[in-house]
Amino acid sequence: MRGLVMKSTGKWYRVLLDSGNTVNATIKGKLRLKGIKTTNPISAGDFVQLINNKSGDEDHYIIQSIEDRKNYLVRKSTNLSKQMQIIAANIDRVYLIATLKSPVTQIAFIDRFLVAAESFRIPTTILFNKTDLYSSTEINQLKKLENLYSKIGYSCHRIIAQNKDTISFLIEEIKNHKVMISGNSGVGKTTLVNSLDPELKLRVGEISTSHEQGKHTTTFAEMHPIKSGGYIIDTPGIRAFGLVDLEKEHYAHYFPEMRTLLGSCKFHNCLHLEEPSCAIKSAVKNGDIHESRYISYLQLMNEDTQDPYRRNEFK
């Protein structure tokens, strides 16, 4: 029988069957995906084949195989013995929530996340949350960020997660789709999901008063059916988003404003670092590519790939 994974805890999986029933299931043996070394072979959003290995009066469902994915998002595992952790699979759109305070979302984090989504051609919308808390200076900073990202093709919206008027457009966008909501801990992911469907009543965390960072409340990514239609994958807060399974010489392909210039450099294998007659460096100098985006590119190219926390901050 076929099912859709709603939640993965590493050992047990909540699976929505085609019949409409939801069951708990385990993996048969050491199930692994070809060519992918991960901490979790199955994630929310996966379609699986499973059987009911009934024992007496008890149902025992076993996942036997995973259907091919159309895409997935991963992050670097903090356990260096593993390569990556799959966050979610088969995603129609990602909503990245960013905040300018309580906590502050670094531009480097936004760019890193966008690169990961671009690598699997997953459309991404940036939701700037908690805008009711911003000072006039922060509003001006927000305008610059909106201009930066909208200019290169990313849809940007200002929201207040608890205010239904500011998030009503999401109801139609999510309907009949599987979308993922992500961002740093404390930016308001779970609050937004609760506002979109109050019947879910998911637990909401608090902001640490000492570090102005969010406290984890979502331990595993979980997919929730929304009453108005569609599914939302609520993900654990991500403090560090490490890129894996991507070749550095391909990073420029995942910056839309750089992608249009590829092939215009003097050297076909230009990495856009120190090479002469580089079209991308010229575009940065001319203002056609924002300097902050190029800085994020340089950070990606020069970072320590063995550092799981990716301590790159943008000032």
**Tens digits of residue pLDDT in 266-278:** 999 999 999 999 9
The pLDDT of residue 277 is 96
Residues paired with residue 14 on neighbouring β-strands, in sequence order:
7, 24
Rounded Cα–Cα distance for residues 263 and 266 (Å): 8
Separation CA 63–CA 271 (nearest Å): 44
Mean pLDDT for the stretch of residues 11-35: 82
User: Taking residues 287-312, what's their average pLDDT?
Assistant: 77
Q: Which of 124, 228, 101 is nearest to 176 (CA)?
A: 228
Q: How many residues does the chain have?
A: 315
Distances in whole angstroms, Cα of residue 278 to Cα of each of 151, 259, 302: 22, 13, 18
**What pLDDT is recorded for position 78?**
55
Whether the pLDDT of residue 235 is over 90: the answer is no
Instruction: In whole angstroms, give the CA distance from residue 161 to residue 194.
Output: 9
Cα–Cα distance for residue pair 265/28, rounded to 1 Å? 51
| 217, pLDDT greater than 60 | no
Pairing status of strand 124-128 against strand 155-158: parallel
Q: Is the pLDDT of residue 211 over 50?
A: no
Determine contact, residues 194/234, Cβ cutoff 8 Å: no
pLDDT for res 36: 59
- Domains in the chain (CATH in brackets) are 2-66 (2.40.50), 72-234 (3.40.50.300), 248-302 (1.10.40.50)
Supply the pLDDT for residue 35: 54
pLDDT digits (tens, 9 = 90+) for 40-94: 788 999 999 999 987 766 778 999 999 999 998 887 665 544 567 788 999 999 9
Residue 158, pLDDT above cutoff 50: yes
**What is residue 308's predicted lDDT score, i.e. its pLDDT?**
41
Q: At residue 113, does pLDDT exceed 70?
A: yes
Integer CA distances (angstroms), 304 to 72, 247, 250, in order: 24, 14, 17
Q: What is the mean pLDDT of the chain?
A: 85
**pLDDT number for residue 33:** 54
Gap between the Cα atoms of 174 and 229, Å rounded: 7
Whether 51 and 97 have beta carbons less than 8 Å apart is answered as no
Give yes or no for a contact between 114 and 296, defined as CB atoms under 8 angstroms apart. no
Rounded mean pLDDT of 227-247? 76
* Cα distance between residue 87 and residue 118, in whole Å: 15
- Tell me the mean pLDDT in the region 233-253: 76
Q: pLDDT at position 205, please?
A: 54
Give me the pLDDT at residue 81, please: 47
Region 293-311: what's the mean pLDDT?
A: 74
CA distance 51 to 36: 24
The residues pairing with 3 across neighbouring beta strands, listed in sequence order, are: 17, 48
Residue range 82-108: mean pLDDT, rounded: 90
Q: What is the pLDDT of residue 55?
A: 74
pLDDT of residue 37: 65
Which pLDDT belongs to residue 85? 77
- Of 12-16, 17-21, 229-233, 306-310, the one with minimum mean pLDDT is 306-310
- Report pLDDT for 315: 38
User: How many other CB atoms are there within 10 angstroms of residue 226's CB atom?
Assistant: 19
